[in-house]
Amino acid sequence: MEKQHVTLTSNKNNVNNIISLEKGKLPPQAVDLEEAVLGAMMIDKKGIDEVIDILSPDAFYKEAHRHIFEAIDQLFVGNQPIDLLTVSTQLRKNGKLDLVGGDFYLISLTQKISSSAHIEFHSRIILQKFIQRSLIKISNEIIEDSYDETTDVFDLLDKAESKLYEVTQGNIKKSSETAQSLVAQAKKRIQDIGSKEGLSGLPTGFHKLDTLTSGWQPSDLIIIAARPGMGKTAFVLSMARNIAIDANQGVALFSLEMSSVQLITRLISSETALSSEKLRTGKLEQHEWEQLNVKVKDLEKAPLFIDDTPSLSIFDLRAKARRLKSQYNIQLIIIDYLQLMTAGGSGKGGGNREQEISTISRNLKALAKELEVPVIALSQLSRAVETRGTSKRPLLSDLRESGAIEQDADIVSFIYRPEYYKIDQWDDEEAGPTEGQAEFIIAKHRNGGLDNIRLKFLGKFGKFDNLEDGFMSFDELPSRMNVEDQNITRNLPSGDAIFGSSFQDDNDVPF
């Protein structure tokens, strides 16, 4: 009887072991598909072309498969033929042939597959399993950090969102890249530049500026600084309009000073050539309403996103920018303006405003690199400009509150309008009247030359334009339009219906 009890106990333990194994969790994986994909890549070049830009070595669950894919990728980058023998030779060079199971395992992979049919579908399943494993890893790290009482909660939120953004983009960061891979990327970029008539970056719509910079470059931090009244906001709005409407590229504008309604009204003024005074009062003639409705159609469809959150922290900016990049693929970020931002809840500024500005500028540069888009930050200048003698042209030393801005920025530029200081003649070799003109000064350019670029400034419409371009005001056009041709109803709305109740006299901010 006692012996039977022992047997029953033993059987019960075995059952418990089986149950515990069944309840255990294995990381998401698709080893059979990994074998099929690698086998197909070694027997069919077409299969390689379909998946080489989808997968990376890290996407494979089995370590041996990571080494095999790495060898195939090295052969592909080197324009070498890829088959059973060349992969075996490359693995031998890498010292990994025995680690993957030798030639016998490579042969077994090619025997399991007869063609590369459905290889792309299989590779995307492998990638999905990799993303699942990545999310599990990130979640475990977040849980562990959350239990740590010394962890700053805002830093933890930023770290979590950053890692999740990397997964969303399908771009889990690698520790390094080989020179061979980087040279191939650089050669492709040079070819792309040639096909874009020399513009490798985002065109601003200002011809001389684009010639000097080749457009705003991805990952660059651009500072545009000026004294109040020079037209900083008007300049970036004109540029945002050119990029969003003419180039059809997404632009995110974070305005810490003016409301979104004020900004869009400025854009309406520059787009329709109707003065800000008329738009502010709503006293438009019939033909002016018709002009407004026709000319704002392109603006309504533009991929332009305006956020007017006051006292925006660098943490909130990064979170918002990541979402806009993920959802709308924005190509430019503009902040108006840097000195109104805060460093966030971590308190790293320690009450020192200069250190806080340094933290903000470093994070803006990091954001530009992370999202691979140019980031433009407007900045105030010190009052030293006002105390100078005849020339009021800004200098790098005039940047307000922190030398870190100059250090972190790839481009530092200034806007200078002598007309504002009652100076009616330019003070250089190109002397001439300053009326209706401005100077865009490139004072620091990490990857290019320096220059002072003259632009046209149309203060009445809050607009910057190329100096050589003509501009016709709607005041010069016939006072009556063919409304039927434009498909515009004659039941035109009142000013309140268009601009809303927030458009009041206290919104009168000079251009």
Residues annotated as part of the active site: 257
For the chain, the distance separating the N- and C-terminal CA atoms, rounded to the nearest angstrom, is: 100
DSSP assignments along 204-218, one per residue: -S-HHHHHHHSSBPT
Tokens, residue 217: 């470059």
Which residue is associated with the tokens 């990381």? 27
Eight-state DSSP code of residue 170:
T
Tell me which residue of 268, 215, 203 sits closest to 237, measured CA to CA.
268
Q: Determine the 3-state secondary structure of 195 from DSSP.
A: helix
Under 8 Å between Cβ of 99 and 67 = yes
Under 8 Å between Cβ of 436 and 453 = no
Cα angle, residue 399 at apex, residues 393 and 400 outer, rounded to 5°: 125
Cβ-based neighbours of 371, under 8 Å, separated by 6 or more: 321, 322, 325, 333
Reduced to 3 DSSP states, what percent helix, strand and coil does the chain have, rounded to the nearest 5?
A: 50, 10, 35
Residue 57, classified by CB atoms within 10 Å of its CB into exposed (0-12), middle (13-18) or buried (19+), is middle
Sheet containing 437-445: order of strands: 304-307, 251-255, 332-336, 375-380, 221-226, 411-416, 437-445, 451-458, 463-466
Residue 135, classified by CB atoms within 10 Å of its CB into exposed (0-12), middle (13-18) or buried (19+), is middle
Max CA distance (Å), the chain: 116
Under 8 Å between Cβ of 39 and 110 = yes
Query: 306 - beta bridge partners?
Result: 253
Cβ-based neighbours of 265, under 8 Å, separated by 6 or more: 276, 279, 280, 499, 503, 507
Residue 381, CA distances (Å) to 15, 312, 459, 484 in order: 76, 20, 21, 51
Under 8 Å between Cβ of 53 and 76 = no
What is d(CA 61, CA 99) in angstroms, rounded to the nearest whole number?
15
Residue 109, classified by CB atoms within 10 Å of its CB into exposed (0-12), middle (13-18) or buried (19+), is buried
